A and B are shown apart, each in its own frame.
Chain A
Amino acid sequence: MLRPLTSAFALLLLALAAGCGRTDQPPAAPGSAPTTAAAASAKSGPMIWRVGNGTEPQDLDPHIVTGVPEHKILMALFEGLLSENPKDLSPEPGIAERWEISPDGLTYTFHLRAGAQWSDGVPITATTFVRSYQRMLTPALAAEYASMLHHVRNAKAYNEGKLTDFSQVGFQAVDDRTLQVTLNQRTPFLLKMIATHYSWYPVPIHVIEKFGGLARKGTAWTRKENFVGNGPFLLKDWKPQQVLIAARNPRFWDHARVRLDEIHFFAVENQDSEERMFRTGQLDLTNELPVAKIDVYRKEFPDSLRIDPYLGLYFYRLNVERPPLNDKRVRRALALAVDRDSLVKNVTRGGQIPAYSVSYPGTAGYTPTAKLTGNIEEAKQLLAAAGFPGGQGFPKLELLYNTSQNHRLVAEAIQQMWRRQLGIEFGLRNEEWKVYLDTTDARKFDLQRGGWIADYVDPHSFLEIWTSDNLNNDTGFKNPEYDRLFAAALAAPDDAARYAVYQKMDALLVEELPIIPIYHYTRVVAMNPRVQGVYPTLLDNHPYKYVWLRDAAR
């Protein structure tokens, strides 16, 4: 009944639009197939990469922002001491052309390249870095990610206002081209962090000083008319909530390698709109792809469907202080009864990897050997041993998740698995994002959907969360042995020894199960096959100086 009506009405509107819709402006992207449309519009003129970038960036100040869309843009506009290898994100020279680590692992000496400069021609020296880090740690600036620098000696005390003399903090400009960083303790992943995370970027002190000083948040220095950066690209234009245009920076030290002329970062919040933009050729790469479209792309545009591993874990937090979840046997029974293969195949459908461990297999050469293994029979026995044979007498617990279609589908599937396999009934509760975060933080839940994306490629970023005093633990799990291993890992002389300790930590986690690992994330996006130099890196970072477009000019 509705169908003929709808199509009749669509025809009516088509007719209306045909009458009044024509303007002198030629349509930006004619054609329906993504490849032909994009290729046709790119044959002549500059090489422009058009990217869907999620929500509107909050700001462009590396000391202020906290999100992924901002990170993607700052990677174009800034470069830190180190940069990332395009294939595995391992540290490569950036502003520092070489570096040394003292035998005790506590002192890092960076030798900056000659001629490093800001986009306005002002030189970048070791002092620039020291003053940048001082700004990041200034209490009045209240930088949310300042804790990324807390590994440095006395940085935490300065950031918390307990120390006011910055010369006691472990950043030192030995001379114009030598920067020395002294740490509190061995931090084996420090170089990876410096290469990947924007909190370690330098900022243009000479510009920031002109606009209200170093300790003030949100000043006008990041406006497009004032902005100065040092990355492979410059800020050319910024239309809030529309598009941010980055153009190649001729003052970038490695500019000969840069092949793209411009990157257009489109602020696109809606997945469906973004997918339609991709199909009209307005975008070469999307930020996301709706789950419902994955199968369509598999069939119709397999060249454009891109599924990459992504260093993240989807899991359920258990409040281990609430009975009956304080009983390890109950936690294990619940974890065993989740059919992860069926879940990723039928519900999430984006090539996710079923998770039987907390760490991501193949993180910087580390793959956990301890796995969650067992079958339904074992789960039933464990539950019976805990005093709930066949699920009898099991209190009705609630599973909390933030309001979202995808999380609801996963929760419903798991709710059903527990009902069918264990005879346990769970309630589902969804809350709006910030309410859910508040509830989580106050630990007012039985089970909670959690997710974690690593900040840099190292197993440390997952394993540190479950230490007793980590702010993101939120499970009530406190295990002295785990904490001891965590400290031992940092003190280990090399990565082989460190990873051996991590194996024990991963084994402890699947034994104790403060969380139920469900799946390891993937990134599912649509990308035009003409885009080259974008490799499947674990963090979805793609150093832009290596990216180029096939069939385009230049």
Chain B
Amino acid sequence: MLRFITSRLLQSLLALFLVITATFFMIRFVPGGPFTAEKAVTPEILRNLEAHYGLDRPLWRQYLDYLGSLGRGDLGPSFKYPNRTVNEIIGDKLPVSAELGALALGFALVIGISLGTLAAVYRNTWIDYVASTFGMMGISIPTFVVGPLLVLGLAIHLGWFNASGWYGPADRVLPAIVLGFAYAAPVSRLTRGGMLEILGQDFIRTARAKGASELRIITHHALRGGLLPVVSFLGPAVAGILTGSFVIETIFQIPGIGREFVNSAFNRDYTLVLGTVILYAVLIMALNLVVDVVQAWMNPKVRLEG
């Protein structure tokens, strides 16, 4: 186990290094820069600006400088927001996205697993069809449709919520439902598939033969194996959901990190682009590692090998 984790960590470090290097150079080769503006600045002022941020040095030198400050945990200053550092921006915004993500994930898991399980147990009945329809809709109707629709009904017509914002607890409800809905759908479909496979197996029949109740069979015997596909889906999904959603955060004006991913690239805010990419990469790697460990615990057939 320890050997497995150590070797995975080393692999991850190497991958992270490659991600940083590729991102660093790719964003530099994109046309336009952080100071490209509609109203042109004079060449002298542009030179001063570049000197201020060290952009006048050779690129390889800037790359080494960046790696050096990264080693000290410093992600650098933001180009777009001069009085904030990238560390601060991530520190401010990641918790917001993570809170929204956690709420949405809770919603997705409760709805998705219940519906998926019901669909598997009552397969080919109307319950199954309703659950499958729900799953299809969640996958095919994008959040930028669901979000405004809910705002129209619940905020504008009924006046229960703010149309957007992130001030009080009530402001969490709509975005969490919309984001959760997008994840509930695949969770319910994966649960149904996993449960169907498990419910057809011998040990379930044995349990039935021993007279265990249907509820006990599902909660004590089937779910552990039936949720395996969901768990492997959750690794990348959790990384994605915790680091925010550009669409949801834009629709609901949430000060999360998801918008920074996209806007930093538009702004050519080099350091913020790198900061968000590194954050996402680290989360993906860490969560995939956790998923592997959890899967081994859930399914004795999986062995951890380095």
Nearest CB of A to B176, in Å:
9
Cβ-neighbour of B164 out of A20, A58, A66, A276 (below 8 A): A276
A222 touches B83 (CB 8 A): yes
Q: Do B37 and A144 touch (CB < 8 A)?
A: yes
Cross-chain contact A272 with B156 (CB below 8 angstroms): no
* Contact across chains for B154 and A279 when beta carbons are under 8 A apart: no
CB-CB nearest in chain A for B37 = A66
Q: Given that A17-B173, A17-B177, A140-B52 are known contacts, is A280 also in contact with B163, CB under 8 Å in the complex?
A: yes
Assess A5 versus B137: contact at CB under 8 Å? Given A27-B159, A64-B82, A144-B35.
Answer: yes
Q: From residue 21 to 39 of chain B, which have CB atoms closer than 8 A to chain A?
A: 30-33, 35-39
- Is residue B197 contacting chain A, with contact meaning CB distance below 8 A? no
A240 touches B157 (CB 8 A): no
Contact B32 A30 (CB under 8 A): no
Q: Which of A97-105, A180-188, A248-256, A431-439 contacts B (4 or more CB under 8 A)?
A: A431-439
Complexed CA–CA distance, A338 and B138 (Å): 46
Pairwise interchain contact B168-A25, C-beta atoms closer than 8 A:
yes
CA of A241 to CA of B259, assembled, Å: 10
Tell me the bound Cα distance from A239 to B171 in angstroms.
16
Find chain B residues with CB under 8 A from A31 CB.
159
Smallest Cβ-Cβ distance to B111: which chain A residue: A16
A393 at the interface (CB under 8 A from B): no
Point out the residue from A28, A32, A140 that lies within 8 Å of B48, measured CB to CB.
A140
Q: With the chains together, A343 CA to B166 CA distance in Å? A: 40
Q: How far is the CA of A66 from the CA of B46 in the complex (A)?
A: 14
Whether B255 contacts A241 by the Cβ 8 Å rule is yes
Contact B137 A218 (CB under 8 A): no
Cβ-based interface call for A14 (8 A): yes
Q: Compute how far the CA of A441 lies from the CA of B33 in the bound complex, rounded to whole angstroms.
A: 12
B141 at the interface (CB under 8 A from A): yes
Q: Contacts A268-B253, A432-B266, A439-B31: A273 and B45 contacting too (C-beta < 8 A)?
A: no
Answer whether residue A217 sits at the interface, using C-beta atoms and an 8 A cutoff. Answer: yes
Task: Tell me whether A9 and B141 are in contact (CB under 8 A).
Answer: yes
Residues of B within 8 Å of A, CB-based: how many? 64
Q: A17-B154, A58-B82, A59-B83 are in contact. Are A147 and B45 (CB under 8 A)?
A: yes
How far, in whole Å, are A467 and B48 apart by their CA atoms in the complex? 25
* B154 closest partner in A (C-beta): A17
A406 within 8 Å of B by Cβ?
Answer: no
CA distance A487 to B168 in the complex (A): 58
In the complex, residue of chain B having the shortest beta-carbon distance to the beta carbon of A434: B32
Q: Which residue of A lies closest to B163 (CB)?
A: A276
B232 interfacial contact with A, CB 8 Å: no
Residue in contact with B255 in the complex, picked from A37, A58, A242, CB distance below 8 Å: A242
User: A435 CA to B29 CA in the complex, in Å?
Assistant: 11
Q: Is A164 an interface residue (CB 8 A)?
A: no
Q: In the complex, how many angstroms separate the beta carbon of A29 from the nearest chain B beta carbon?
A: 7
- A218 CA to B80 CA, complexed, in Å: 10
B151 to chain A, nearest CB (A): 5
- B residues within 8 A CB of A146? 45
Measured CB to CB, the residues of A under 8 A from B are 5-6, 9-10, 12-14, 16-17, 20-25, 27-32, 37, 56, 58-61, 64, 66, 139-144, 146-147, 159-161, 217-220, 222-223, 239-242, 266-270, 272-273, 276-277, 279-280, 282, 432-435, 437-439, 441, 451, 471-472
Residues in chain B within 8 A of chain A (CB atoms): 30-33, 35-42, 44-45, 48-49, 51-52, 77, 80-84, 92-93, 134, 137, 141, 146, 148-157, 159-170, 173-174, 177, 181, 250-253, 255, 259, 266, 268
Given contacts A28-B168, A143-B45, A277-B165, 7 further A-B contacts (CB under 8 A): A9-B137, A59-B81, A218-B77, A242-B253, A273-B253, A276-B164, A435-B32
What would 28 A/B residue contacts be, using CB atoms closer than 8 Å? A10-B153, A13-B177, A21-B174, A23-B169, A23-B170, A24-B169, A25-B170, A27-B170, A28-B165, A28-B168, A61-B82, A64-B82, A147-B41, A159-B45, A217-B52, A219-B83, A223-B83, A241-B93, A242-B166, A242-B255, A269-B253, A270-B250, A270-B253, A277-B165, A434-B30, A435-B31, A435-B32, A441-B36
Give the 5 A-B residue pairs with the shortest CB-CB distance, closest first. A434-B32, A218-B82, A142-B48, A241-B255, A276-B163
